[in-house]
């Protein structure tokens, strides 16, 4: 009974810690790092659903983040839409992009989706760079306003942090609801045996497409938040390297879990800014880590896939279980 | 009443005719067995009945409605459930949740409703859980409810798959070699399960190698050999049929035993 109470308390304590962070941390840069961690977490929650539960690989999620970021930028800067509308549009455009990509590629078997997402990612990077009149080309698009939620001005480091983690928290809750109920069971079922799932009347293509669209939607919202926090978007951000980073977070975090990928997203984001977090760290060490960052991720994916397919999540969970872990 | 009318079903793979102009009826409330030596086309025929494979010719009428051309999903939603020769369970999910997936054949609530945790979704989930428990009790394997399917013994896996098929609420249940890998005790339990399934008003078609079991449970038998139907009738008649004996003796010689 005590153990159960303790387990129920863990999420509450975590929420409290995440929420209270800006009250403790006053350094604006550090707070921004934690805000970026929240943005990455939002992307990785969607990827955890796609990869960890439905067993689909996306090598192009940065493109959906980019779609969201550019949509938000164009809507606020060029069209002067209210922020909330631009934010919703960013999610909608990314979700639509996900639908357009998923519908044809998910009808095929095997790794076609991974290949299609890779191609899609490259195509989008190219588009962001070349569609000058809309995207600003290589120079990017600046002057994106801070989020505006009507009566609440979101322009300080702390309020931005709260907004980002608030959205991530809601996304986590929604995705947890999906994974812990019927759709999540359908996902794990078709991951286990497509034939068996078909024999149960599971709409295989439907489940896969919906999963993909939801994860693209979350990536798009994350992109809009990124654009609004930074105030500037440029094509160099939404590249294959970024897609691999997101995938590394999801893989490291582990399959069948949401807490694992979430933790991995935060840890790997903080790793990029290790010099700001640990002031005493030697300059060279920090630089080495930052230089070889992508190599570290690539290596981490390979090592996890070979030696610990369960990822971080399996470290505190001994046997594979349903979706009861969040 | 004839629940399933199979008419002239033919399936070719390249030059090989795996199922050759096979016709038979399955009457409501009966257990019909499909037997035949290895390679006789039993599983291929099963796949053409359940939407996993389309026949090249022929028609399959279920309660008057054409099944040919339907997806596996539409077939199961029409009331025809199946199991597989190589059990297709979801190894990461516990036995109980495997059965719950079967309930999805007749559930409505989907993605967005689940996301918002609507009460209707919770209610459907609860119903599916209760039904899964009831079905596992019916089959007599309720003690395995929380065991991940990947950890179950082979015999129990077959029974869980039957429970999962029943959770789709079928009128017709197709079982592909349900006794394969079962020991004598488990086979006897399977026989009891099949009787209970028939009692609950579900018609059963079973593909089986295990002759004793087939002769015991089936009301009628269809014998296939090299894709063709060579005999059809009640077990007593089939046992004496010269064509059937020849087909099986042939197989025994081929296998050297």
Domain range for A216: 2-239
CA B230 → CA A298, B215, B224, distances in Å?
Answer: 60, 17, 6
The pLDDT score that the predictor gives to residue A315 is: 62
Judge: B52–A198 Cβ closer than 8 Å, yes or no.
Answer: yes
DSSP state of B97: H
Whether chain A has a CB inside 8 Å of the CB on B165: the answer is: yes
Cβ contact, residue pair B81, A188, below 8 Å: no
The four Cα atoms B44, B47, B53, B59 give a dihedral, to 10 degrees, of 90
Alpha-carbon span A322 to B173, nearest angstrom = 28
Q: Closest approach of chain A CAs to the CA of B76, in angstroms?
A: 6
Q: Specify the number of domains making up chain A.
A: 1
Sort out which chain A residues have CB atoms less than 8 A from B92's CB and list them. 188, 191-192, 256, 320-322
For A210, nearest residue in chain B (alpha carbons): B111
Measured between CB atoms, does B139 come within 8 Å of chain A? no
Number of A/B CB contacts below 8 angstroms equals 119
CB neighbours of residue B65 within 10 Å: 10
| B positions 32-51 inside 8 Å of A (CB) | 50
CATH of region B2-79+170-254, choose from 3.20.20.10, 3.30.70.2660, 2.60.40.10, 3.40.50.300: 3.40.50.300
Q: What is the pLDDT along chain B (257 residues), one digit of tens a residue?
A: 799 999 999 999 988 999 999 999 999 999 999 998 888 889 999 999 999 999 999 999 999 999 999 999 999 999 999 999 999 999 989 999 999 999 988 887 678 888 888 888 888 889 999 999 999 998 889 999 999 999 999 889 999 999 999 999 999 999 999 988 888 888 888 899 999 999 999 999 999 877 888 888 999 999 999 999 999 999 999 988 888 888 876 655 554 43
- So what's the pLDDT on residue B149? 94
- B117 vs A contacts (CB less than 8 Å): 177, 181
Q: Which residues of A touch B (CB under 8 A)?
A: 174-175, 177-178, 181-186, 188-189, 191-193, 195-204, 210, 214, 256, 319-322
Q: For chain B, what percentages of helix, strand and coil (3-state, to nearest 5) are there?
A: 45, 25, 30
Do the Cβ atoms of A196 and B89 come within 8 Å?
yes
In this prediction, residue B256 carries a pLDDT of 42
Residues of chain A with pLDDT under 70: 1-2, 108-110, 309, 314-326
Minimum Cα–Cα distance from A205: chain B residue: B73
Q: What is the pTM of this model?
A: 0.87
pLDDT of residue A301: 81
Q: What pLDDT is stored for residue A38 in this prediction?
A: 96
CA angle A154, A155, A159 (to 5 degrees): 55
> Chain A contact for B118, CB < 8 A?
no
Contact A200 B101 (CB under 8 A): yes
pLDDT given at position B171: 96
Residues A35-72: tens digit of each pLDDT: 999 999 999 999 999 988 888 889 999 999 999 999 99
Predicted complex ipTM: 0.89
The domains of chain B are located at 2-79+170-254, 95-167
pLDDT at A317: 54
Measure the CA–CA gap between A153 and A83, rounded to whole angstroms. Answer: 11
Contact (Cβ atoms closer than 8 angstroms) between residue A160 and residue A35: yes
Q: Which residues of B touch A323 (CB under 8 A)?
A: none
Q: Indicate whether A286 belongs to any domain.
A: no
Three-state secondary structure string covering chain A: CHHHHHHHHHHHHHHHHHHHHHHHCCCHHHHHHHHHHHHHHHHHHHHHHHHHHCCCCCCCHHHHHHHHHHHHHHHHHHCCCCHHHHHHHHHHHHHHHHHHHHHHHCCCCCCHHHHHHHHHHHHHHHHHHHCHHHHCHHHCEECCCCCEECCEECCCHHHHHHHHHHHHHHHHHHHHHHHHCHHHHHHHHHHHCHHHHHHCCCCHHHHHHHHHHHHHHHHHHHHHHHHHHHCEECHHHCCHHHHHHHHHHHHHHCCCCCHHHHHHHHHHHHHHCHHHHCCCCCHHHHHHHHHCHHHHHHHHHHHHHHHCCCCHHHHHCCCCCCCCCC
Cβ of A201 within 8 Å of Cβ of B73? The answer is yes
Please indicate whether, in this complex, the C-beta atoms of A174 and B71 are within 8 angstroms of each other.
Answer: no
* Portion 69-98 of B in contact with A at CB < 8 A: 71-73, 76-77, 81-84, 88-94, 97-98
What pLDDT sits at residue B67? Answer: 95
CA distance A250 to chain B (A): 19
Residues of A in contact with B93 (CB under 8 A): 185, 188-189, 192, 322
If you ran DSSP here, which 8-state letter would residue B104 be given?
Answer: G
Q: What is the model's pLDDT at position A286?
A: 82
Q: How far is A281 from chain B (nearest CA, A)?
A: 43
B168 and chain A in contact, CB less than 8 A: yes
Domain for residue A108, yes or no? yes
Residue A326: per-residue pLDDT: 36
Structure confidence at residue A293 (pLDDT): 81
Subunit contact A185:B109, Cβ cutoff 8 A: no
Backbone angles phi, psi at A153, to 5 degrees: -80, 125
């Amino acid at each position: 009974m005590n153990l159960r109470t303790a387990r129920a308390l863990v999420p509450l304590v975590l929420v409290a810690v995440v929420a209270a962070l800006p009250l403790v941390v006053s350094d604006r840069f550090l707070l921004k790092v934690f805000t970026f961690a929240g943005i990455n977490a939002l992307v990785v929650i969607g990827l955890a659903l796609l990869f960890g539960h439905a067993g689909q690989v996306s090598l192009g999620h940065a493109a959906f983040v980019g779609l969201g970021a550019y949509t938000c930028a164009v809507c606020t800067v060029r069209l002067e839409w209210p922020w909330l509308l631009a934010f919703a549009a960013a999610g909608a455009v990314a979700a639509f992009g996900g639908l357009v990509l998923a519908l044809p590629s998910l009808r095929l078997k095997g790794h076609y989706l991974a290949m299609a997402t890779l191609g899609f990612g490259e195509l989008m990077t190219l588009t962001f760079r070349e569609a000058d009149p809309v995207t600003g080309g290589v120079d990017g698009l600046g002057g994106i306003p801070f989020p505006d939620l009507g009566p609440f001005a979101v322009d300080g480091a702390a309020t931005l942090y709260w907004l980002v983690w608030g959205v991530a928290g809601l996304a986590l809750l929604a995705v947890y609801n999906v994974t812990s109920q019927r759709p999540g069971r359908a996902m794990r079922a078709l991951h286990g045996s497509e034939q068996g799932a078909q024999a149960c009347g599971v709409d295989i293509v439907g489940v896969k497409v919906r999963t993909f669209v939801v994860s693209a939607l979350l990536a798009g919202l994350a992109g809009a938040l990124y654009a609004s926090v930074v105030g500037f978007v440029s094509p160099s951000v939404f590249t294959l390297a970024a897609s691999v980073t997101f995938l590394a977070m999801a893989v490291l975090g582990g399959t069948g879990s949401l807490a694992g990928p979430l933790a991995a997203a935060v840890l790997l984001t903080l790793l990029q800014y290790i010099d700001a977090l640990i002031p005493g760290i030697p300059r060279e060490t920090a630089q080495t880590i930052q230089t070889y960052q992508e190599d570290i991720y690539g290596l981490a994916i390979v090592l996890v896939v070979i030696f610990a397919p369960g990822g971080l999540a399996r470290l505190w969970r001994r046997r594979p279980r349903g979706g009861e872990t969040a | 009443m004839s629940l399933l009318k199979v008419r002239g079903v033919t399936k070719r793979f390249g030059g090989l005719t795996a199922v050759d102009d096979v016709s038979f009826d399955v009457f409501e409330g009966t257990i019909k067995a499909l037997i035949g030596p290895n390679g006789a086309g039993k599983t291929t025929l099963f796949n053409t009945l359940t939407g996993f494979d389309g026949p090249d010719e022929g028609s399959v009428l279920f309660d008057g409605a054409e099944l040919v051309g339907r997806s596996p999903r539409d077939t199961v939603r029409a009331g025809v459930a199946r199991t597989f020769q190589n059990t297709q369970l979801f190894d990461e999910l516990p036995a109980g949740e495997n059965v719950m997936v079967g309930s999805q054949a007749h559930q409505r609530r989907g993605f967005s409703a689940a996301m918002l945790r609507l009460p209707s979704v919770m209610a459907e989930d609860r119903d599916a859980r209760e039904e899964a428990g009831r079905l596992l009790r019916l089959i007599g394997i309720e003690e395995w409810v929380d065991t991940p399917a990947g950890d179950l013994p082979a015999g129990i896996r077959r029974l869980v798959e039957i429970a999962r098929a029943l959770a789709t609420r079928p009128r017709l249940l197709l079982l592909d070699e349900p006794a394969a890998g079962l020991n004598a005790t488990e086979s006897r339990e399977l026989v009891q399960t099949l009787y209970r399934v028939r009692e609950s008003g579900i018609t059963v078609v079973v593909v089986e190698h295990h002759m004793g079991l087939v002769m015991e449970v089936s009301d009628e038998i269809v014998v296939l050999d090299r894709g063709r139907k060579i005999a059809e009738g009640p077990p007593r008649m089939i046992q004496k049929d010269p064509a059937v004996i020849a087909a099986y003796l042939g197989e025994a010689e081929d296998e050297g035993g």
